[in-house]
A and B are shown apart, each in its own frame.
Chain A
Amino acid sequence: SFLPPPAASFLPPSRHPGCICLKRCPLPSPHTSAPRQDIRNTVGNIPMEWYQDFPHIGYNLEGKRIYKPIRNKDELDMFLEKMENPDYWRTVQDKMTGADIKLTDEQVELVHRLQKGQFGDVHFNPYEPSVDFFTHEVMIHPVTNRPADKRSFIPSLIEKEKVSKLVHAIKMGWIKPRKPKDDTPTYYDLWAHEDPNSILGRHKMHVPAPKMKLPGHEESYNPPPEYLLSEEEKLAWEQQEPAERKLNFVPQQYQCLRAVPAYSRFIHERFERCLDLYLCPRQRKMRVNVDPEDLIPKLPKPRDLQPFPTTQALVYRGHTSLVRCLSISPSGQWLVSGSDDCTVRFWEVSTARCMKTLPVGGVVKSVAWNPNPTVCLVAICVEQSVLLVNPCLGDKLLYGATDQLLESYVAPEEERVQPVQWVVATVEEHSKGVRLVVQHSKALKQVTWHGKGDYFASVVSDNSNMQVLIHQTSKRWSQNPFRKSKGLVQCVLFHPIRPYFFVATQRYVRVYNLLKQELTKKLMANCKWVSSMAIHPGGDNIICGSYDSKLAWFDLDLSTRPYQLLRHHKKALRSVAFHKHYPLFASGSDDGTVIVCHGMVYNDLLQNPLLVPVKVLKGHVPTLDLGVLDVLFHPTQPWVFSSGADGTVRLYT
């Protein structure tokens, strides 16, 4: 019976997602489809992934969508089903409908047979006896007995024509016989006329390929036993990247030559060499063949540069917290130290005896002994005020004269506006030694005396133009030298001879002429954060310590950049100091060491200063990441004092 196909099978192609042409599926025969409920998919032989993202999987014969069976089983359900369902193993999923189908026994049998490589049909016999349809024997009667044509007896004219054409062509020399090819290359003396000096243009830049490395003992088939890798080394070798292995093979030992196998990476290695030859960039590299001894600069021996402090002589104990600052009397007999335990102590240098303890009620940031030998006065920075203290040590005449000097002050008639307040100490304070108190508006950082001993400068930690103030003791008068702030001032310094004033900000050191009231120089420190500064007694050289562990030596006559940057310390530098007479300078750092260097400055302007480190002094125990906080030279002897975070002051001689 011929039925017209159901309309549903002519679905427009656009109903297949992603499908352009539709292949018609074989039509189900109406006889078989009638009895059982047949959900047949009409999409045809297409990849079923196209329906992956859709709820349906195709269309049935009526053109309705066939929906995918709901699959909400998770792994656990699947597993349970696997365990519980006895027919799980014979259940397969129909790709076309998405339904689970249980295979019948016959189907299982079929699968088994196919798996074994047998025929699907059980009844098929592959070994049936063969039947000869056509005999191989020649029969006496031919199948046809037609007599041969005439043309098979006479020569062909067309062929004759063709042949004669060829013959003519050969005669005329148009066709030549094919020469037997000789593809063995011929060699001759290529370099018969070689010119030893001939260099082609390209070869000027020619870098010949380096030869391959020659093998060492470890590559031998029977190496000495020490070259074989131990287990750990082998493991390490295996874990390394192939590129960073030192050997590209594992050394192995074979008892005899007979046992040596082929090397499996031989072709690889040749190939890599080929790649190297034509892909690796080449460059001529000068091999540094220097004796490391030659690199070490030839410096004068430290022994020839004596005197300099070499050993720790005295330890001044007493402070209970870190000792921030030190100062020494011009005679070199007394030492003053300020500490975080809110006291200032006066020591006798030669005996390490604490002569006096002055509680000041605040952290002492800086102390400075008046450099004038006829005046016995110490400036102490405590929080917001500078205390001028007469320690009453040494010659009685001397400190008496100082008191007289201070008392001889006559207040000016007209009150002048001052940035600070000068206050005479109370009686109680007077008995302790405090004579004058200069009260600032902000916390103080540093105080330093002018060489004559009348003026002193103080640094306030502030960001305004009031950072630096210059005070005159005899007139009890203060002034603010700067109209504008140029950054956070770290420390200031008076020139020992000339009327210059040095102001160190974070990265620069500015040199001002106090007489002309102008900026003369700006030194670039080449470091991140200047911590301290010291000036050579000659006045032409400055050293700057910085928190990035550099020490910059400036020669003011030479340039505004450092003449030398010394990176001796491992940690931040806290303070630097010059000796008054000897060509020595010292730097103290957070790594707990004081490095003493020989810094000779010559009078001859053409000769550059000679800087030689002569001694590394250790002694301070770094506490709280702080080591040495201040260093100071004795005014006359080649001795150096250092104060540390461990609460001690040490003297090295």
Chain B
Amino acid sequence: TRRLCILKGIYPHEPKHKKKVNKGSTAARTFYLLKDIKFLLHEPIVNKFREYKAIILHETPGVFVRKLRKAYGKSEWSTVDRLKDNKPTYKLDHIVKERYPTFIDALRDLDDALSMCFLFSTFPRTGKCHVQTIQLCRRLAVEFLNYVIASRSLRKVFLSIKGIYYQAEVLGQPVTWITPYAFAHDHPTDVDYRVMATFTEFYTTLLGFVNFRLYHSLNLLYPPKIDGQADVELKPAEGKEYAMDSESYLEKLSALSASLARVVAPTHEDEVEMDEFPVEGETAEQMDSRKKEQEALEKHKKLFEGLRFFLNREVPREPLAFVIRCFGGQVSWDKSLCIGATYDVSDPSITHQIVDRPRVEKQVVGRYYLQPQWVFDSVNAKLCLPVADYFPGVLLPPHLSPFVTEQEGDYVPPEKLKLLALQRGENPDEESEEEDEEEEEEEDDNDKEEEEEDESEKEEEMKLKKMEEQKTQSNKALPVKVTAGKLRLEDKQRLEQEQQSEEKRLAIMMMKKREKYLYKKIMFGKKRKVREANKLAAKRKAHDTAVKEEKKKSKKARRA
């Protein structure tokens, strides 16, 4: 029954009147809809399960299991083989169709499927589950990655401590998935792998069908074929490196370096711009902004166009290759690292080399040596960020989550502010450069130095103060401070404010009980939010001052 529930996507419901349903008692219980359970019984797959194995406990075991047991008991190994060969199988196609009547429904629910497939594809080939499942997961995951590359639909990437989050926009639906870092798992003991395997069974079926449809929507062959031309290039000159062509096929595919073969040769028709049909009720401004958005999207898709990357062997190859290829860049790696390398380190046309070492021994002129975070940050910023912050061995700027959109009143880290300014086209670096210059000047002039430093500090303080003021003002705009306002010199204003706050207090007194409760809850939430934001800001300020002092100290020490 558990398997059935998982496969059919049946879940408990929270009834509207819990007490009524529970016959008066308020004990915690889970409720399934009666309809759902009845619906389970009509499932044809139930009979298949019965053939195979008892579904419900204490039911007599299924025919297959009984026969197999008997054969084992008699040690008739040929019979065992035969039985195992003719194991009753079942398909989940109709369940997928039933659970997702339309393709868009399936896309909406793809997040968990993808995350699960990516996780299972990293499992070792022994032990926890069937090798076939793992291989299938890997295949489907790679196929999906190739689709994302082909359609250039990746939007956001995030390196978290848990793994790497990707967000792609597939046919207008945001699809987010997480992949673990490429390490061996230490398998926890308190996890029921059977539950996960059942989920995976369903998810692989779903993902297979989704992939099929997605490939066909792009006129690509499914199962994917590597583009003929590239295939020739990829063929190892010595040959015989791989025993079987079919074996190397998946690996070549997973190298993510070659484009895929199309059913119809790509024509330029695809690139013809869409005709614009003005939607009724849309003003010119809206249309304009939409157009702009579209342009920005196109630009984002071609972010790395024309750039040639080379990945050093210490950087994670797959995520980087995937991200770079998604945005039109060319990527290669050491031949001995993985199949599918297209050019060598010594290639003079390489523009960026991704390095994750404190120092690079032999530097080639004409290319940037960068840390991998640059790629991810650039993707999230939708523009190629200045490279200076990402040189090897440099203290990296913080990596921000692209999934956070700050609302009014939320805490915004200063880096994000800088980034937003950069996106708007301003150059926030000027200030820092100025500061640098100042520092240089300081070294020249000992007398001026103190003052200037003070000035810069003052500036900083002013900035912070302004920020705080803004914050407090915004707080005031929110009806957080119900108590009397702050003391002000102007008596009239103060009086007015007091009066207003008193009026409000009196009005709150007249609120109904339920509304009052709700109001207090909302207010509490808002206050908490503000408190958290203030706490973060204070922490940041403390950190900044500490860093500054350290800098000063080290400078003094150097001078002495």
Contact = CB atoms under 8 A, between A and B. Distances in A.
A271 B185 CA distance: 14
Given A282-B12, A567-B513, A260 B212 contact: no
Interface in A226-269: 226-227, 230, 249, 251-252, 254-258, 260-269
Contact of A271 (B33, B191, B371): B191
Interface string A198-232: 11111101011101101111011111111100100
B518 A295 contact: yes
Interface stretch (A337-345, A526-534, A607-615): A607-615
A288 B521 CA distance: 11
Contacts of A288: 518
Given A268-B188, A302-B506, A187 B161 contact: no
Contacts of B316: 257
B165 interface: yes
A195 to B, nearest CB: 7
Contacts of A301: 503
A88 to B, nearest CB: 42
A266 B180 contact: yes
Interface in B9-65: 9-14, 30-31, 33, 35-36, 39
A257 B510 contact: no
A292 B425 CA distance: 37
Contacts of B420: none
B476 interface: no
Given A194-B102, A195-B101, A221-B161, A296 B507 contact: yes
A279 interface: yes
Contact of A208 (B31, B109, B176, B314): B109
Interface residues of A, number: 91
A80 interface: no
B366 interface: no
Contacts of A216: 401, 403-404
A296 B398 contact: no
Given A211-B176, A274-B199, A297-B510, A185 B136 contact: yes
Given A190-B96, A270-B116, A612 B510 contact: yes
B35 A282 contact: no
Interface string A508-520: 0000000000000
Interface string A288-328: 10101101111101110000000000000000000000000
B181 interface: yes
A93 interface: no
A198 B102 CA distance: 8
Contact of A281 (B31, B111, B507): B31
B546 to A, nearest CB: 9
A297 to B, nearest CB: 6
Interface stretch (B147-155, B203-211, B291-299, B448-456): B203-211
Contacts of B213: 189-191
Given A269-B162, A292-B522, A279 B30 contact: yes
Contacts of B204: 185
Given A290-B522, A296-B507, A222 B373 contact: yes
Contacts of A221: 159-161, 399
Interface in B132-182: 132, 136, 158-163, 165, 176, 180-181
Interface in B517-556: 518-519, 522-523, 526, 536-537, 539-540, 543
A21 to B, nearest CB: 29
Given A190-B96, A262-B183, A271-B195, A568 B509 contact: yes
Contact of B85 (A181, A214, A566): A181
A190 B506 contact: no
Contacts of B165: 214-215
A223 B504 CA distance: 41
A251 B505 CA distance: 41
A94 interface: no
Contacts of B367: none
Interface in A558-615: 566-568, 595, 611-615
Contacts of B387: none
Contacts of A275: 195
Contact of B185 (A178, A266, A274): A266
Nearest to A193: B97
Contacts of A278: 2, 5-6, 9-11, 195
B510 A611 contact: yes
B222 interface: yes
B290 interface: no
A460 B86 CA distance: 98
Contact of A256 (B116, B199, B222, B356): B356
B11 A217 contact: no
Contacts of B181: 260-263
A107 B248 CA distance: 65
B112 interface: yes
A205 B33 contact: yes
B398 A187 contact: no
Contact of B162 (A263, A273, A616): A263
Given A191-B97, A282-B12, A263 B161 contact: yes
Q: Which of B13, B93, B509 has the most CB of A within 10 A?
A: B509
B79 to A, nearest CB: 13
Contacts of A256: 356, 371, 373, 396
A202 B508 CA distance: 45
14 contacts: A188-B212, A196-B102, A198-B102, A209-B109, A212-B111, A219-B158, A222-B399, A230-B539, A254-B161, A263-B180, A270-B116, A299-B510, A568-B509, A616-B505
Given A216-B403, A265-B162, A266-B180, 9 more contacts: A190-B209, A224-B540, A262-B180, A277-B112, A278-B11, A296-B519, A297-B510, A299-B507, A595-B509
6 nearest A-B pairs in the assembled complex, by CB-CB distance: A283-B14, A262-B183, A214-B403, A281-B12, A226-B540, A226-B539
Interface of B: 2, 5-6, 9-14, 30-31, 33, 35-36, 39, 85, 89, 91, 93, 96-98, 100-103, 106, 108-109, 111-112, 115-116, 119, 132, 136, 158-163, 165, 176, 180-181, 183-188, 190-192, 195-196, 199, 204-205, 208-209, 211-213, 216, 222, 314-316, 356-357, 371-373, 395-396, 398-401, 403-404, 413-415, 479, 499, 502-511, 513, 515, 518-519, 522-523, 526, 536-537, 539-540, 543
Interface of A: 178, 181, 183-185, 187-191, 194-196, 198-203, 205, 207-209, 211-212, 214-217, 219-227, 230, 249, 251-252, 254-258, 260-271, 273-275, 277-283, 288, 290, 292-293, 295-299, 301-303, 566-568, 595, 611-616
